[in-house]
Amino acid sequence: ETPRWVISSDFTQFRILDLKAPDGADTRTFTLEELPANSDLLAFLAGYQTSPFGNQQQEEASVKAAQIMADLYEALSDSGYDDHDASVFLVRVLFCLYADDAVESRIVV
């Protein structure tokens, strides 16, 4: 059985390796001074569930997508759409966006 996490440290720097990250092994490195800001990366030691690190590009895309969805919601609301109808529409748009990504990742060229 392979562990999910590997932690190494010289007590100046800490390195956490996630062996089961979706895109292959993912590593985070931080200094002792940065430990308080990165304590969430060690939450699994206390038994908390954590999600894979992901990468910077994925995180930036998620933030950008959230802003686009928020802007779209405000535009729908400003044009008189009922909150429920706007929410249903946004959920459908979000589903289509994820479905599009899922299909593209399976296309073999």
pLDDT bracket for residue 17 (50, 70, 90): very high
Q: Number of folded domains in the chain? A: 2
- 41 and 71, same domain (yes or no): no
Q: Evaluate whether residue 42 is within a structural domain.
A: yes
Which two tokens mark 87?
């929410």
Q: Evaluate whether residue 70 is within a structural domain.
A: yes
Q: Evaluate whether residue 16 is within a structural domain.
A: yes
pLDDT average, residue stretch 87-95:
90
- 35 and 74, same domain (yes or no): no
Q: Evaluate whether residue 109 is within a structural domain.
A: no
pLDDT bracket for residue 2 (50, 70, 90): confident
For 53-74, the pLDDT digits (tens) are 566 677 777 888 889 999 999 9
Q: How many CB atoms are closer than 10 A to CB 4?
A: 12
Q: Evaluate whether residue 73 is within a structural domain.
A: yes
What is the rounded CA–CA span in Å between residue 43 and residue 53?
Answer: 13
Q: Coil, strand, or helix at residue 35?
A: coil
For 18-62, the pLDDT digits (tens) are 888 877 678 899 999 999 999 888 888 888 775 555 666 777 778
**CA 98 to mean position of chain CA atoms:** 14
**CA 77 to mean position of chain CA atoms:** 28
- 65 and 27, same domain (yes or no): no
When comparing pLDDT for 1 and 30, which is higher?
30
Domain that holds residue 92: 56-104
Place of tokens 């089961």: 20
